[in-house]
Structures are given as structure tokens and as C-alpha cells.
């Protein structure tokens, strides 16, 4: 059972959810459960210029959410390649590419509404 009272909070350089604090985070709220973890760009090769990588979202995509939120950062410095959005869509998942504050707001609305949603969130630029 998923908690409809989960809230993702953001401030510059920090994301908070589930009693944990992250710089960048992966968050999921789906039919398989809910959780969060640090999003470590060094592991998946994400860079501001080249953008979010497929491996950054693959674990979340495998959870088969209906929606996947991908943040571009607060100042939209993080690129999201069109090929990534297309590969997510081909798997039947609606991809939302948003600025951080808008992404956090959408995640919170979707969690409250009990939607199957996951996302990667960048807390700075």
C-alpha cells in the first residue's frame, strides 16, 4: 500500500523525502511500492551538457510507472536528450521534462492522487 501523504520537498541543493535528504534523488511511487535514493551522476554518466543518460532512469523505467518525471534543474542547465524521451515513450511511459520546482510540484500531486510515478530530481542549476 502506498502512502498518499508522501511529500517531496526541495530547496537549493537539497531534496527531502521519506525522512532522508539528498542532493539529487531518484523517487518512485508505484504499484511495486515506494522509495527514494541518491541519484549519483558518477555511476550513470549524467552530465549537464550531454544530459541525463538512459542508465540514470533505467531502474525506474523497469518499475513500469505510468509517468516518469525528468528534471532539467532549477536553471534548466541539465539537458534531456530527445532520444531518452523517445525511448521512455516507446515503453508506454509518459515522460515529463520539467524545471525542478515544477517537477517537484507534479510529483507531489501525482503521489497524492495515487498515480504510478517515478522521477529523477536535480536540486541545483
Give start and end residues of each alpha helix (H) in the chain: 41-44, 54-62, 82-90, 100-112
CA 25-30-32 angle, 5° bins = 105
Contacts of 15 (CB under 8 A, 6+ apart): 8, 9, 21, 22, 23, 24, 25, 104, 121, 123
Q: What is the pLDDT of residues 70-112, one digit of tens each?
A: 999 999 999 999 999 999 999 999 999 999 999 999 999 999 9
From residue 121, alpha-carbon distances to 1, 22, 84 in Å are: 24, 10, 16
Question: What is the value of pTM for the model shown?
Answer: 0.95
Mean pLDDT, residues 33-53:
96
Amino acid at each position: 500500500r502506498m502512502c498518499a501523504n508522501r511529500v517531496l520537498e526541495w530547496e537549493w541543493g537539497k531534496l527531502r523525502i521519506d525522512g532522508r535528504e539528498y542532493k539529487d534523488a531518484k523517487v518512485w511511487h508505484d504499484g511495486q511500492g515506494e522509495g527514494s535514493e541518491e541519484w549519483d551522476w558518477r555511476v550513470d554518466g549524467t552530465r549537464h551538457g550531454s544530459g541525463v543518460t538512459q542508465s540514470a532512469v533505467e531502474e525506474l523505467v523497469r518499475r513500469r510507472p505510468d509517468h516518469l518525471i525528468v528534471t532539467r534543474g532549477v536553471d534548466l542547465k541539465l539537458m534531456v536528450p530527445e532520444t531518452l524521451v523517445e525511448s521512455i515513450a516507446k515503453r508506454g511511459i509518459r515522460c515529463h521534462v520539467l524545471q525542478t520546482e515544477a517537477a517537484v510540484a507534479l510529483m507531489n500531486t501525482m503521489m497524492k492522487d495515487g498515480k504510478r510515478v517515478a522521477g529523477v530530481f536535480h536540486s541545483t542549476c
